[in-house]
Copies of this chain bind each other. A is one copy, B any other.
């Protein structure tokens, strides 16, 4: 169940929300949400409900060894910046595109968790008529929401002059809570249905 915090609560910046080095603790922090999304996508795929996948991490390969009678081994490679979001696919004929992030903050989702290229990509998907959204987990509240990309974009575009985070209240009010379940544990497409079909 969602606990809606009172509006007007003072925003306290959380040191845990600072961006960390790529491939470091940030990816570990996101592990649980990523795993739940992967399990949900496997479930949707096996039932013919949707075909949505997480894209592989983009890697710049510099050196590969080709040992005899063994798999090719990459011995030097580097992480590259993705130019899109992490997840895309098809659901009931709709092109689906989203990213997913966790925050330990109780009061807001810091925009430092989001990259410019992700916002640019989501903006383009909205223009192309796709279903573009963002999944945000407040890990300390055990609540996961789906918000429309347009809400994220609106906050992103004002951050230079106003706040650098999306208030929890705004996410809980305009977004849709993903109700936890048994299988899959995170049936996010139900929340996506409510989100995308309600305002059409």
Q: Which residues of A contact B (CB under 8 A)?
A: 21-24, 45, 48, 50-51, 53, 55-59, 61, 64, 66, 71-80, 82-84, 88-95, 97, 121, 124-125, 127-130
Contact = CB atoms under 8 A, between A and B. Distances in A.
Task: Give the number of times this chain occurs in the complex, counting copies.
Answer: 2
Contacts of A77: 59, 73-74, 77
B53 A90 contact: no
A131 to B, nearest CB: 10
Nearest to A78: B71
Contact of A128 (B58, B66, B90, B97): B90
- Max chain B CB contacts within 10 Å: which of A50, A51, A71, A89? A51
A55 B55 CA distance: 6
A88 B90 CA distance: 10
User: How would you classify the secondary structure of chain A's contact residues: helix, strand, loop or mixed?
Assistant: mixed
B83 A78 contact: no
Nearest to A22: B72
A98 B195 CA distance: 29
27 contacts: A21-B66, A21-B72, A23-B64, A23-B72, A48-B127, A51-B121, A51-B125, A53-B83, A55-B55, A55-B56, A56-B56, A56-B57, A56-B82, A59-B59, A71-B78, A72-B79, A73-B77, A73-B78, A74-B76, A74-B78, A88-B89, A89-B95, A90-B95, A90-B125, A91-B128, A93-B130, A94-B95
A75 B76 contact: yes
Given A74-B74, A77-B74, A48 B124 contact: yes
Nearest to A93: B129
Nearest to A97: B90
Given A23-B64, A71-B79, A90-B130, 8 more contacts: A45-B124, A50-B128, A56-B57, A74-B77, A75-B75, A88-B88, A90-B95, A90-B128
